[in-house]
Amino acid sequence: MKATPVRTRTSTTMNRRRPRRAERGFTLIELLVVALIAVLLIGGALPTSVRRYQRLQLERYARQLRLAAKYARLYAVETNQPCQLVLLEETRSFMVVARLSDDGAETIVSNPYVRPCQMEERYTFEKIVIMPAGGESVSSDETRSVVVFRPDGTADTAVIQIGDGVHQYSVSILGATGKAKVQRGGVEEVPLDVIDLDATGRAG
């Protein structure tokens, strides 16, 4: 009688392991390339931001100058006394000077609405053109220019250009009405014989 062979099941366990990716950091060259790209991007954006800031600052000065002219006109009308917008080229500043009494005493106006303003060094009065009108005579020299506003609402016709050598803004004052306007650009682009359409419409 033959012996029955005993079958033995052999189970083979295979450990399957996923291959691990090689882990490595950035090389020095890669870091330098990234740093160089960042510097180039920042370097390209910075000059643009600076120029934009300078232009906006110049526009702010122009609007302050217009506000000073507007206040000088209002003061002259309400107090029945001439009022002056004084421009000091040497110090790059402007202010409103008011007459307090009939004896000629004057003072620099400074209040929550208007106050003396000195522009930063990069900004200057590039051109000042004033055409006096009426009987009020005020002396001006190379460093001091004066625009007179009168009680009847009129003023000296004037164009004042401020700039930084690249950007310019001009403030024009209409003699017939004493109104001031701001325009981007140089004096040549703002004619002195501007007609106030509002005043023309009222007259018609």
CA distances to 84, 94, 127, 145 from 139, in Å: 11, 16, 18, 8
What pLDDT does residue 15 have? 52
Q: Do residues 94 and 152 touch, judged by C-beta distance below 8 A?
A: no
pLDDT in tens, 25-58: 667 777 777 777 766 666 655 566 777 888 899 9
pLDDT in tens, 97-155: 997 666 767 899 999 989 999 999 999 999 998 988 754 545 556 668 999 999 999 99
Kindly report the backbone phi and psi dihedral angles of residue 16, in degrees, each rounded to the nearest multiple of 5, phi listed first. Answer: -95, 120
Contacts of 87 (CB under 8 A, 6+ apart): 93, 94, 125, 128, 144, 145, 146, 147, 160
Q: Is the pLDDT of residue 66 over 90?
A: yes
Band (201; pLDDT cuts 50, 70, 90)? very low
Q: Do residues 54 and 122 touch, judged by C-beta distance below 8 A?
A: yes
pLDDT in tens, 166-191: 899 999 999 999 999 999 988 764 45
Band (199; pLDDT cuts 50, 70, 90)? very low
All domains of the chain in start order, with CATH: 39-203 (3.55.40.10)
What is the mean predicted confidence (pLDDT) over 189-202?
A: 47
What pLDDT does residue 74 have? 96
CA distances to 30, 97, 155 from 79, in Å: 73, 13, 15
What pLDDT does residue 29 have? 79
What is the mean predicted confidence (pLDDT) over 159-171?
A: 93
Q: Is the pLDDT of residue 156 over 90?
A: yes
Band (95; pLDDT cuts 50, 70, 90)? very high
**Mean pLDDT in the chain?**
79
Higher pLDDT, 201 or 4: 4
